[in-house]
């Protein structure tokens, strides 16, 4: 049977490994060297993987606000505008999972816009943040807790005066489609009435395409049966399908008048097919302009807006090929001229939103970056966009986030002469030892609520927040009045002033100091150290999304597995007084597999119920690195004392399409992609073993790890 000391030694090994695996520091934003000078009009909001952005008045002050949806970390953010182009510091609405899309509407008809969002990974489906007024929000269930939704829109599709939700479902070919949930005006849903449940869809546009006064739908299909499809609405929630406009894989779709005839045309962003345009005749029919813009490139979204004030709508598109934000000016007829210099020429971008943020009568442009947050370009008439930067701090900057994750000091400790020392506070019991004529004398004193103590040589001495060495110096100074050569020692006998709270999937080990609950801090303490002492994660703990909330209201979600694998000690979150840590539990139907070795982002990955194949897991981990040996990937399965080891040939699968190598995975499977020259097992031992020891936390598994390790090595 494994002992507590054994467990602590295992985690000590994990911590030690962090120091030798190397660092992956978060880099502050820097403009790419090839960015045109006037492209610096882009205003950096913050670093973060954002997919979606919308602009609407969220606090009923008459000014537009910016709502963003972040995948990393999982957040919905709101920055409140003042109508003059400035916005407030962000309000964070944490989400358990990756936010893919956000939209707004008043679902309970209280006069306030609510936020609907789609979420994937840790949880899935569509959720709501309901507006409680005064910038207060309450999370509610949305129309569904199932499936993977890429983009969502809001509109009254059945003419009952209540706002409805329209969503693009990308789950799988036989269980996806475009879905519509009819709202009841009370924040609830009457039912689902979408036009189709077949095929995967990445986006949906809502517009009156045939001028009958009723909303119609355009779906951006993806994959084997991918196509651009139009459904004509009859105003009652029913839909009539038209023949596909074109086949292919589409990321985004929008509607706008491209030729100035008053009819809404269709603009589509494709996978490796550029930007496609379909011109409407006003009766619901469309003619494809068989001249794509950058026909071999991929784009997430494309929208139309008049950039130069000539009365014709131009095109703005977000690139998935690291080409930044691209623009084309409308020269009339079917002629388009690529216009450089307005936007950044590098980077991956997703969502685009348009609104007049500064009340100057011109539309401003917002776009989300996959790694560099939300950027804004204020608009004006003329041939260019104003070259000025709008400073918006929506999330912590790189420096602020780094300080939150790994502070040099906080309320618990301070660094004195290179040594990290505990700061005393109210409730702590300290012991002071001093000498009189070579005779030691001791006093035990509890620090009062006001942060003061009364000592034999001093009354009402304020010591709150001092380190032990600082306290020693202060007491020595006061005793010099009474002792010629004072000698003092100060220690903390009981730590009571600094606490953290651990909640969620934490094991109770038949000891009073384990399991979920409140714990005292005795100095610089990391999340991993606290989790270890509290009993470790439970068997179904989801360490991919650990939430930490501070007294200040700041909140961050961290992937503990990824942090450990990166080998950066700063990623092992340093805790502060009052921190609340929540370890979520895997969804009941979720399956967790572990991918390690030569992949881009090793760690634990959760899949919804259904078939999980080897390439699904490796793709989630970012795919194999250039150092990977693709011929002998290992899958370790079953009882760790008698595991089954399966060898798969990724090269045969990826290059020759040999589906026999695409092994169906089971919950708990360990996938290891070795380096070229797998015989170098030392790399595996040094890099991967500490992570697996954390994964295989139950005592029996940790105890039997050596046996499993032998099985893997002998397999070779």
DSSP 31: -
* Alpha carbons 168 and 444: distance in angstroms, whole number: 67
Q: How confident is the model at residue 116 (pLDDT cuts 50, 70, 90)?
A: very high
- CA 328, 331, 333, 338 dihedral sign is negative
* Alpha carbons 637 and 212: distance in angstroms, whole number: 59
**Which tokens is 270 given?**
């494709």
Q: Is the omega angle on the peptide bond into residue 73 within 30 degrees of 0, that is, cis?
A: yes
For residue 213, give every residue at least 6 positions away whose Cβ sits within 8 Å of its Cβ, in sequence order, or none. 235
Q: Is residue 3 predicted with pLDDT exceeding 90?
A: no
Cβ-contact 633, 647 below 8 angstroms: yes
Mean pLDDT of the chain: 77
Q: Is residue 430 predicted with pLDDT exceeding 90?
A: yes
* Alpha carbons 426 and 501: distance in angstroms, whole number: 18
* Alpha carbons 345 and 330: distance in angstroms, whole number: 20
Model-wide pTM > 0.75: no
User: What was the pLDDT predicted at 564?
Assistant: 58
* Alpha carbons 314 and 338: distance in angstroms, whole number: 10
Which residue from 140, 14, 10 is spatially nearest to 567, judged by alpha carbons? Answer: 14
Cβ-contact 543, 578 below 8 angstroms: no
Query: Can you tell me which residue has the tokens 């969220």?
Result: 58
Q: What is the pLDDT of residues 215-245, one digit of tens each?
A: 999 999 998 889 999 999 998 889 999 989 9
Cβ-contact 62, 54 below 8 angstroms: no
Q: How confident is the model at residue 662 (pLDDT cuts 50, 70, 90)?
A: confident
Q: Is residue 687 predicted with pLDDT exceeding 80?
A: no
**Which tokens is 451 given?**
């942060």
Cβ-contact 542, 511 below 8 angstroms: no
Cβ-contact 198, 177 below 8 angstroms: yes
Strand ranges (E), 598-685: 603-607, 612-613, 633-637, 644-648, 664-665, 670-673
Query: Can you tell me which residue has the tokens 């358990």?
Result: 96
Which residue from 300, 375, 379, 293 is spatially nearest to 338, judged by alpha carbons? Answer: 293
Q: How confident is the model at residue 646 (pLDDT cuts 50, 70, 90)?
A: confident
Cβ-contact 25, 567 below 8 angstroms: no
Beta bridge partner(s), residue 368: 374
Cβ-contact 251, 271 below 8 angstroms: yes
The mean pLDDT of 608-634, rounded to a whole number, is 77
> In sequence order, what DSSP letters do the residues of 341-405 get, joined into one string?
SSS-SSB-EEEEEEE-SSSSSS-EEEEEEBTTEEEEE---SSSS----------S--HHHHHHHH
For residue 183, give every residue at least 6 positions away whose Cβ sits within 8 Å of its Cβ, in sequence order, or none. 107, 162, 163, 164, 165, 189, 190
Q: Could you tell me what percent of the chain has a pLDDT over 70?
A: 78
Q: Which whole-number Å values give the CA distances from 390 to 35, 38, 375, 415, in the listed order? A: 18, 14, 8, 37
Q: What is the pLDDT of residues 256-288, one digit of tens each?
A: 999 888 899 999 999 999 999 999 987 778 988
Q: How confident is the model at residue 127 (pLDDT cuts 50, 70, 90)?
A: very high
Beta bridge partner(s), residue 407: none
Query: Can you tell me which residue has the tokens 């080998």?
Result: 567
3-state secondary structure 156-197: CCCCCCCCEEEEEEEEECCEEEEEEEEECCCCCEEEECCCEC
Q: Could you tell me what percent of the chain has a pLDDT over 90?
A: 29
Range with the poorest average pLDDT among 93-107, 457-471, 474-488 = 474-488
> In sequence order, what DSSP letters do the residues of 499-567 get, joined into one string?
EEEEEESB---SSTT-SSEEEE--SS-BHHHHHHHTT-B-TTB-TTSEEEE-TTS-EEEE-HHHHHHHT
Q: Is residue 5 predicted with pLDDT exceeding 50?
A: no
- 3-class SS at 716? coil
Q: Is residue 501 predicted with pLDDT exceeding 80?
A: yes
């Amino acid at each position: 049977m494994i002992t507590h000391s054994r467990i602590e030694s295992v985690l000590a090994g994990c911590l030690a490994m962090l120091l030798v695996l190397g660092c992956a520091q978060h880099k502050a934003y820097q403009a790419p060297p090839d960015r045109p000078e006037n492209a610096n009009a882009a205003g950096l909001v913050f670093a973060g993987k954002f997919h979606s952005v919308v602009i609407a008045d969220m606090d009923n002050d008459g000014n537009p606000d910016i709502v963003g949806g972040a995948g990393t970390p999982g957040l919905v953010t709101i920055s409140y505008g003042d109508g003059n182009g400035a916005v407030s510091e962000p309000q964070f609405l944490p989400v358990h999972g990756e936010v893919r899309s956000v939209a707004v509407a008043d679902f309970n008809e209280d006069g306030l816009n609510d936020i609907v969002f789609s979420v994937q990974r840790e949880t899935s489906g569509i959720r709501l943040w309901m507006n409680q007024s005064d910038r207060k929000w309450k999370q509610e269930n949305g129309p569904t807790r199932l499936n993977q939704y890429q983009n969502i829109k809001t509109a009254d599709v059945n003419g009952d005066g209540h706002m409805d939700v329209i969503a693009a479902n990308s789950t799988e070919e036989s269980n996806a489609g475009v879905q519509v949930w009819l709202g009841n005006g009370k924040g609830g849903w009457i039912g689902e009435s979408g036009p189709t449940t077949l095929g995967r869809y990445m986006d949906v546009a809502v517009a009156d395409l045939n001028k009958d006064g009723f909303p119609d739908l355009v779906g951006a299909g993806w994959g084997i049966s991918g196509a651009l499809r139009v459904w004509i609405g009859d105003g009652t929630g029913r839909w009539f399908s038209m023949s596909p406009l074109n086949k292919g894989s589409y990321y985004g779709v929008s509607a706008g008048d491209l030729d100035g005839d008053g009819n809404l045309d269709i603009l589509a962003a494709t996978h490796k097919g550029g930007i496609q345009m379909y011109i409407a005749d006003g009766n619901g029919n469309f003619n494809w302009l068989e001249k794509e813009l950058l026909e071999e490139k991929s784009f997430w979204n494309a929208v139309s807006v008049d950039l130069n004030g000539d009365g014709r709508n131009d095109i703005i598109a977000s690139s998935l090929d690291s080409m930044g934000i691209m623009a084309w000016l409308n020269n009339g007829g079917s002629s388009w001229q690529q216009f450089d210099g307005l936007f950044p020429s590098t980077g991956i971008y997703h969502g685009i939103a348009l609104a007049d943020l500064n009340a100057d009568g011109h539309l401003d442009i917002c776009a989300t970056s996959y790694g560099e947050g939300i950027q804004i370009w204020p608009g004006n008439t003329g041939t260019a966009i104003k070259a000025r930067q709008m400073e918006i701090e929506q999330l912590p900057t790189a420096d602020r986030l780094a300080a939150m994750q790994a502070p040099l000091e906080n309320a618990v400790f301070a660094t004195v002469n290179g040594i990290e020392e505990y700061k005393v506070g109210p409730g702590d019991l300290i012991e002071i030892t001093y000498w009189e004529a070579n005779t030691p004398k001791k006093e035990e004193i509890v620090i009062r609520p006001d942060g003061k103590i009364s000592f034999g040589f001093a009354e009402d001495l304020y010591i709150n927040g001092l380190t032990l060495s600082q306290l020693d110096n202060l007491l020595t100074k006061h005793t010099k009045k009474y002792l010629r050569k004072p000698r003092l020692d100060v220690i903390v006998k009981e730590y009571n002033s600094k606490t953290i709270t651990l909640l969620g999937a934490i094991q109770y080990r038949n000891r009073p100091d384990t399991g979920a609950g409140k714990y005292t801090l005795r100095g610089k303490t990391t999340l991993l150290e606290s989790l270890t002492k509290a009993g470790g994660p439970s068997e179904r703990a989801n360490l991919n999304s650990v939430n930490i909330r501070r007294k200040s209201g700041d909140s961050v979600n961290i992937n503990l597995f990824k942090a450990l694998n990166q080998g950066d000690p700063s990623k092992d979150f340093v805790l502060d007084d009052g921190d609340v840590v929540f370890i979520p539990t895997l969804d009941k139907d979720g399956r967790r597999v572990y991918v390690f070795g030569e992949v881009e982002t090793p760690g634990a990955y959760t899949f919804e119920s259904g078939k999980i194949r080897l390439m699904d897991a490796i793709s989630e981990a970012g795919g194999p690195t250039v150092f990977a040996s693709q011929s002998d990937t290992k899958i370790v399965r079953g009882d760790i004392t008698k595991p089954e080891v399966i060898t798969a040939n990724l090269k045969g699968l990826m290059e020759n399409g040999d589906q026999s190598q695409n092994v169906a995975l089971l919950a708990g499977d360990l996938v290891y992609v070795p380096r070229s020259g797998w015989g170098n097992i030392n790399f595996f031992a040094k890099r991967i073993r500490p992570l697996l020891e954390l994964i295989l936390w139950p005592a029996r598994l940790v105890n039997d790890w050596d046996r499993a390790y032998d099985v893997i090595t002998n397999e070779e």
